[in-house]
A and B are shown apart, each in its own frame.
Chain A
């Protein structure tokens, strides 16, 4: 998402990252830590899962931790540079991406089928350039 931020902003949008983990982790991501530069966009947390529930993002069921698809996603994320940090939030939460219009109308939503299942940035940018 960080790499696509200039294109996202050119399209008239901004990015908000939402996690269920601790606020200090959101702050560390925003400010940069270790060899990671600052994200360049806002990070907040959703400790009560308000937005997560509203958007209908699911949870990883116990048996899914044993499926090859989950581990392929996990390895793929690792290869892209993602690293597991301190476990502070809900590790069973599936990720997702939503595009919301200024009046809070949901324009588009991607609900992950497993961990690490993210949409391509091309598909997100295509949604941003559509006229409502």
Chain B
């Protein structure tokens, strides 16, 4: 399990339009707050 200081892998996600997108796409010289939740 990852802890602070560990590198998060470059995982593939799916954009709202259905296209694959890598996590790093959203890390454009900014910190990123990733909120994982159930949308339903």
Measuring CB to CB, which residues of chain A are less than 8 angstroms from any residue of chain B? 1, 8, 11-27, 29-30, 42-48, 50-52, 54-57, 84-91, 93, 95-109, 115, 124, 128
- Chain B contact residue count (CB 8 A cutoff): 36
A115 to B26, CA, bound (A): 26
A90 to B1, CA, bound (A): 21
Report A-chain residues with C-beta under 8 Å of the C-beta of B7.
103-106
* Main secondary structure on A side of the interface with B: mixed
Report B-chain residues with C-beta under 8 Å of the C-beta of A97.
33-36
Q: Is the CB of B40 within 8 A of A88?
A: yes
Q: Is the CB of B14 within 8 A of A99?
A: no
A101 to B35, CA, bound (A): 14
Report B-chain residues with C-beta under 8 Å of the C-beta of A19.
36-39
15 A-B pairs with CB atoms under 8 Å apart are A14-B33, A17-B35, A17-B37, A18-B35, A18-B36, A20-B39, A22-B39, A42-B16, A54-B8, A54-B9, A84-B40, A89-B39, A93-B36, A98-B34, A104-B23
